[in-house]
Amino acid sequence: MRNKDIPEYALSVLREHGIDTVPFDVLELARGEGIKVYKNSDVRLLCPTEYGRIFCHNDKSIIVYDDTRTHSQKRFTVAHELGHYFLKHREEHERFERYLELQRIRHGRHVERQADIFAQAILNPKITEE
C-alpha cells in the first residue's frame, strides 16, 4: 500500500469497527480484532529500546507495550502496532524473511513509517462527510 493511501484506509478501519468519535479506546479496537494486549511489566518481552511490538503466529496476535511511558506514548504505540497488523506487515515479514535479512534497514524504515502514518490517522482522523 502506498503511504498516501494509508489515512483513508485507516478511516475505513475505524468505520468498520463503528468508531466515529475521538478519542477512542485503542485497546478496544485491538480486542475487536481478537488481539490480546499486554503491559511489558507483566510479560517482559520488549528490548530496552522498544516501546512496543506485535507478535503474530498463525492466526493469533498479541501486542506488548512499554507501560512506563506516558499515556499519549502508550496510545500511539498500540495504534502503531495495530498499523502493522492492519497493513499486514507481519505477512510480508513471514513471506520474505530471508530477503528481509538482506534488506532489513531499508524495509524496516518503510514499514515503521507506514505504521506511524496509520497510527496518526486513527488517532487524529480527518473525518469528511460522505
pLDDT tens-digit map of 47-71? 899 999 998 877 889 999 999 999 9
Residue 130 lies in a domain: no
Q: How many structural domains comprise the chain?
A: 1
Residue 113 lies in a domain: yes
pLDDT at 117: 93
pLDDT tens-digit map of 93-124? 454 444 445 445 555 677 888 999 999 999 98
64: containing domain: 3-123
Q: Burial, 58: exposed, middle or buried (Cβ in 10 Å; 0-12, 13-18, 19+)?
A: exposed
Strands (E), 10-118: 36-39, 52-57, 60-65
Residue 51 lies in a domain: yes
Residue 128 lies in a domain: no
Classify the C-alpha dihedral 68-70-36-87 as positive or negative: negative
Residue 129 lies in a domain: no
Residue 74 lies in a domain: yes
Residue 39 lies in a domain: yes
Residue 94 lies in a domain: yes
In Å, what is the CA distance from 102 to each residue of 6, 46, 54, 97, 110? 26, 23, 22, 9, 15
pTM, two decimal places = 0.80
